[in-house]
């Protein structure tokens, strides 16, 4: 068999499991931790049976051992808030036994845009006063620029690679000279509008096979939107700069530095322009409504033009 037919007729495929972070199963689908809990419970039950078996009737002995077995099974197989029940109980015991300290919170002044006590404001005025075409947000005493970034999966990295990524992230934090805010949020994905755009684009494809593949993909997106509630995770970094002169240039320089530093970690980063920053802030005001931030909005004060209409 020639090498060409080998690579084309029988392509190499490799399955990558998605549960690489899960502990290994030892026997009967149980992990080493679960087997250890059940083994300790079995040893305790055996000791009780040997010590009290000749003193108590079988019904009473069974009544004593059933709660022990129930507690062991619950600890071994139970989970709460995504954690195993034994680890959750251990954390609860450590929290309850740790020393508590009361720290007095410093009183922060009320922002100027916030309503006073007992005042009803029909429209909330946020701190952002204007958004430039370059993406600089005027927040009064400071300028803000937004950087969008993707997450980096370190679960499949080796230990040395994970340490290198954490060190690089720490170096970026240590290099900061101004305030930075990292916002990680989950928003619903509007697959219906995306499927419509794919279908509209498929109408202009000359190749019938590619057009059919595009239509199938659009149908798949519609079915996925009906059956599931897809979410996507967004990471937005807000960098700031203060001063009376040159702060717009400085905040854009800091945004470019943040984008370059995080791109070195393997994340995809981009400094948002004015229209996209407006879209991000618009979606942030109503996170429960499906919204698509990939298309820009008109900035406040920007003229909106369209085709003329005959009156």
- Per residue in 70-111, pLDDT (tens digit) is 888 888 888 776 677 888 888 888 888 887 776 665 666 666
- Contact present, 265 and 169 (Cβ < 8 Å): yes
- Bridge-based pairing of strands 142-149 and 231-242 is antiparallel
Q: What's the confidence (pLDDT) of residue 304?
A: 67
48 has a pLDDT exceeding 60? yes
What is the C-alpha to C-alpha distance for residues 286 and 290, in angstroms, rounded to an integer?
9
Q: Which two tokens stand for residue 245?
A: 């002169």
SS3 308: coil
Detail the DSSP E strand segments found in 20-59: 25-27, 30-31
Q: Between 271 and 117, where is the model more confident? A: 271
Q: What's the confidence (pLDDT) of residue 5?
A: 45
What is the C-alpha to C-alpha distance for residues 139 and 126, in angstroms, rounded to an integer?
9
Write down the domain spans for the chain.
Answer: 25-93, 130-189+230-284
- Matching residue, tokens 């129930």: 70
Q: Which residues, other chains included, contact 295 with Cβ-Cβ below 8 Å and sequence gap of 6+?
A: 279
257 has a pLDDT exceeding 90? yes
Q: Which fold has domain 130-189+230-284?
A: Alpha-Beta Plaits (3.30.70)
CA–CA distances in Å: residue 172 to residues 74, 121, 162, 265: 44, 41, 16, 10
What is the C-alpha to C-alpha distance for residues 74 and 22, in angstroms, rounded to an integer?
19
Backbone Cα Rg of the chain? 30
């Amino acid at each position: 068999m020639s090498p060409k037919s080998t690579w084309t007729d029988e392509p190499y495929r490799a399955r990558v499991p998605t549960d690489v972070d899960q502990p290994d199963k030892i026997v009967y689908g149980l992990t080493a931790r679960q087997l250890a809990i059940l083994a300790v419970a079995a040893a305790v039950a055996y000791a009780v049976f040997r010590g009290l078996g000749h003193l108590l009737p079988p019904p009473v002995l069974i009544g004593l051992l059933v709660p022990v077995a129930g507690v062991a099974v619950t600890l071994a197989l139970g989970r709460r808030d995504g954690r195993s029940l034994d680890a959750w109980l251990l954390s609860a015991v450590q929290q309850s036994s740790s020393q508590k300290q009361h720290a007095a919170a410093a009183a922060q002044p009320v922002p100027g845009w916030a309503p006073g006590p007992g005042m009803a404001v029909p429209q909330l005025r946020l701190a952002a006063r204007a958004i430039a075409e370059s993406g600089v947000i005027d927040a009064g005493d400071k300028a803000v620029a937004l950087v969008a970034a993707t997450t980096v999966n370190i679960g499949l990295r080796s230990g040395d690679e994970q340490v290198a990524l954490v060190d690089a992230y720490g170096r970026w934090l240590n290099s900061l000279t101004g305030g930075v805010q990292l916002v990680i949020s989950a928003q619903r994905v509007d697959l219906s509008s995306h499927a419509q755009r794919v279908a509209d684009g498929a109408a202009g494809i000359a190749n019938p096979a590619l057009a059919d593949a595009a239509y199938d993909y659009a149908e798949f997106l519609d079915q996925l939107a009906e059956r599931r509630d897809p979410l996507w995770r967004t990471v937005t970094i807000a960098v700031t700069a203060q001063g009376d002169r040159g702060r717009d240039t400085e905040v854009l320089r800091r945004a470019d530095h943040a984008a370059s530093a995080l791109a070195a970690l393997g994340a995809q980063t981009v400094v948002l322009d004015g229209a996209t920053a407006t879209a991000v802030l618009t979606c942030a005001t109503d996170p429960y409504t499906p919204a698509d931030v990939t298309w820009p909005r008109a900035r406040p004060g920007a003229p909106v033009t369209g085709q003329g209409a005959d009156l």
